[in-house]
Structure 1
């Protein structure tokens, strides 16, 4: 049985899910943006008894203490929360699994504390160069102020409905609609618990999406200093030296082939939306190209492999952004191969 309980750390109180009585090698599962540890429950029950799955909620999500997010630190508020959580539980090196934004959190923990990571699994992860506002496989900024990334990219109607706790699907911007159309490639059979998890997201300048700054560069806004989306802006979050990690645990990169969120043609990237005509005023490919998110991750992991790290890329067909929910058998098979071989 999966149970939730609070864990007091030296930074904040973390709510986490675990399976009662389970021991074994710890596998720490880090969720993505606008979600919670609930998205990991099927993976937790699918792992064999020799592993101890743990799914903490990040700050501002689920039942964890909603401390403000200092976006100028990139994802380090979250990665250092995760570090304090591991220390509070007295865990040594762990198998770390990060989905979407959680992949960025896991990468940051790996970069800062590689000795704590037995293996790393990245599930449809955010690019090592953040989300939005860059071009090229080396993550060059489209604009020095990061225009096109950060909180300005959030749809105001989605934020409003999230804040109001809308659980229906009358609007295409409702969380349930976004779950069906973006988180997965096909609607889930039992989505209610995931919609409820999305609705635990704290909203506002300190949380989701964060604050914005005006910009003279299209689309007219640049990332602010607070909140979740700004913490993934390329002006704040960049891991461009992954090859320097020592020691180098094995990395599994697993993703769905139909992901529309983290993609080289992301429907959540303002530059790509501008090219499609969905956001007016786009200045063109020469000055504001779309972010090649998948290609950027592949290039960073190639540098890691060239420096002696083990990397495996697995692409799952008929799956989108939530491959662990959409194709759980294939996901678990790939994950277990990495865990068992670490």
Structure 2
């Protein structure tokens, strides 16, 4: 655990589930309505810690997912999409004797995980927090069809290797654009936001617990004859996010349909129409040579894809509330904390 003390009212524990050993934070009464807050890529449950004391009437649980934080560094089977994460969450609820459908919050990567959970099990509600697009991340056109049959341009090979190297080396400096401290401040928050120094140090230390390699972050890669020369492998988290394996459009067919809250930062650079981290955008900008052009590999309209699928969900009888936080980044629960918390608390009381 980090040496930074937990906030008052927040507890830390670990439990052996029937799948893996999981570490989690918890607050509130054990018999209260449960909320599972699930972090995304390169983060841990402590990215939700600041919210937990503000929801005292709920049992709030923020686990560390496999390969992150203080949970077991188990491998990720990418061919299941986010199925490993969804099944781990279900195993955690069994281990903690949660006997009622939980409210689920999924940030970024975990948006696909909570959708997968809901497609297999009852939930009280779903809160998508700047989620990965419903067709997966990278290598797809607006309608979700792949740019190439092998889904080239997505998966573990698309991750900047210097970031992986610096995480593995425990680099907590700000000496390089690829140092995780600078990645945190560039891509997690709005440009105008900066965490307090102690809090920033904590979040950097939590990210540096990430297990790197082919089985976890970012995963393996497969050579491809298609631009940009790599296609997804079969293991690791970023491959699990590839459109080859990640698809949560099946949410539209759920019956019954849990209420949905979609919250998004308007200045998000990670999940965006034209994200600078996505190969279509990078190719169009000239940053990656050889781009075959917009007819073959267009920038992925990620936010538009989320909106379209959730509109279909609503048209099919689901209740969807959308809140776009002006100026917020990839983590509006961090850089627009009070506004996000007010929207979330109101949503919970309405379902």
TM-score past 0.5 threshold: yes
How many residues are aligned here?
338
The alignment status of 1:143 with 2:148, answered yes or no, reads yes
Find the aligned partners of 2:36 and 2:248 in 1 and give their Cα distance. 21
Q: Is the 8 A contact 2:28 2:60 kept in 1?
A: no
1:309 maps to what in 2?
Answer: 318
Runs of 4+ in structure 1 over 2 Å off = 19-23, 186-190
The alignment status of 1:83 with 2:90, answered yes or no, reads yes
Gaps (5+ residues) in structure 2? 1-8
The alignment status of 1:98 with 2:119, answered yes or no, reads no
Gaps (5+ residues) in structure 1? none
Residue in structure 1 matching 2:294, options 272, 285, 294:
285
Find the aligned partners of 1:77 and 1:44 in 2 and give their Cα distance. 25
Find the aligned partners of 2:267 and 2:31 in 1 and give their Cα distance. 35
Residue in structure 1 matching 2:168, options 159, 163, 175:
163
Aligned ranges 1:197-276 → 2 under 5 Å: 197-276=206-285
Deviation string for 1:17-51 (max 9, x for gaps)?
A: 0126565211110000011001001111222x211
Find the aligned partners of 1:332 and 1:130 in 2 and give their Cα distance. 27
Find the aligned partners of 2:120 and 2:139 in 1 and give their Cα distance. 25
Q: RMSD across aligned C-alpha pairs, in angstroms?
A: 1.1
2:3 maps to what in 1?
Answer: none
SS at match of 2:37: strand
Residue in structure 2 matching 1:120, options 114, 122, 126:
126
The alignment status of 1:5 with 2:13, answered yes or no, reads yes
Deviation string for 1:85-109 (max 9, x for gaps)?
A: 1111121111100100011111111
Deviation string for 1:294-315 (max 9, x for gaps)?
A: 1111111111111110001100
**Superposition deviation, residue 67 in structure 1:** 0.8
Q: Is the 8 A contact 1:6 1:13 kept in 2?
A: yes
SS at match of 1:319: coil
Q: What TM-score, normalized to structure 2?
A: 0.94
Change (3 A) 1:20 1:305: closer
Find the aligned partners of 1:246 and 1:240 in 2 and give their Cα distance. 14
Deviation string for 1:4-24 (max 9, x for gaps)?
A: 111111101110001265652
The alignment status of 1:196 with 2:202, answered yes or no, reads no
2:5 maps to what in 1?
Answer: none
**Superposition deviation, residue 241 in structure 1:** 2.4
Moved more, 222-231 or 2-11: 2-11
SS at match of 2:124: strand
Find the aligned partners of 1:10 and 1:294 in 2 and give their Cα distance. 36
**Superposition deviation, residue 124 in structure 1:** 0.3
**Superposition deviation, residue 251 in structure 1:** 0.2
